[in-house]
Structure 1
């Protein structure tokens, strides 16, 4: 069933002004637009600042690596200089030690060293005469007796040779070797020095 009802409002129940005024709605819309615009500007500023930060970061990295590479290159140069100085010092020390060692050898040791060096330069066993100073004859004869050249080389004492030299003569000519030349060669010096 249908029933009809009515509500009666008193004057006190009515609001004296509208619930939302037009100005408030306009201000609210304006505020929303201002906030949206501010948000867009803030996002643009954030993007720009991020790009600036990325650029500064890249520049800092480039600067760091340039400095690091320059520093490492300088270290490499210093290392090479130190290495060269160390090698020079070691070579000088070894040469000096070898010179002292060679200078301290006896005449017999020198004679054996000379004849071994002479034998090492001979590829073939050929008949030849090995001339030595009489002071070196005994150690050379001992070495020759035990060598592969014992049946090919004939030992000859020759007082005209200097004390520390040998001469190997055959049909093709003669080959002379002396202690000073061998010593300088072993010590790494030019024989004219």
Structure 2
């Protein structure tokens, strides 16, 4: 049910210059409201697109930072590895120099004792053989053999044998060992 009402103003009441809002003005307001709604929707869409672009840029920048950091960490790890290898070579070289100095300071009787010990470690002791040494080292060699209780070899001086060298002469062949060759074997095991 529809009802229509009319409002009447009392007679003598002052009339306003505009009693009603003109239809054109209402249309303008409606258009303005629609325009504002569209502008608001467009602004929201632009904000959403900008946020999405920011997320993509942030992800790209983050990935780039991690790639650079990873490359830097790999470089540091490589440099550390090279430094460790260099340090190891340097320490080995220094240790070898110190050992060589100590071994070079060993007196001839100690050197001959080391040669006999090495010979005993590498030979079958019960072999019937002649042990040849330089005549100047004959007495020291005799004492070394006595210290190690190696009485199964016949000791014999030989002018052709260099000092700090001994030769074990057997029927199968000769076994030669010298202080210098023992040091070379110790310091250059791969050669």
Q: Work out whether the TM-score is over 0.5.
A: yes
Higher mean C-alpha deviation, range 9-18 or range 171-180? 9-18
What does 1:22-171 align with in structure 2 at a 5 Å threshold? 22-122=23-123, 124-133=124-133, 134-145=138-149, 150=150, 153-160=152-159, 161-171=161-171
SS of 2:168's partner is strand
Gap runs ≥5 in structure 2: 1-6
Task: Give CA deviations for 1:102-153 in whole Å, capped at 9, x if unaligned.
Answer: 101122211221122222223x4442325143043234213431xxxx47x3
User: Is the Cα–Cα contact under 8 Å of residues 142 and 155 in structure 2 kept in the other structure?
Assistant: no
Output the TM-score relative to the length of structure 2: 0.76
Do the aligned partners of residues 51 and 135 (structure 1) sit closer, same or farther apart at CA in structure 2, a change above 3 Å counting? Answer: farther
How many angstroms does 1:165 deviate by?
1.5
Gap runs ≥5 in structure 1: 1-6
- 4+ residue runs of structure 1 moved beyond 4 angstroms? 13-16
User: Is the Cα–Cα contact under 8 Å of residues 111 and 139 in structure 1 kept in the other structure?
Assistant: no
CA RMSD between the two structures: 2.9
SS of 1:163's partner is coil
Do the aligned partners of residues 135 and 38 (structure 1) sit closer, same or farther apart at CA in structure 2, a change above 3 Å counting? Answer: farther
User: Is the Cα–Cα contact under 8 Å of residues 167 and 177 in structure 1 kept in the other structure?
Assistant: yes
Output the TM-score relative to the length of structure 1: 0.76
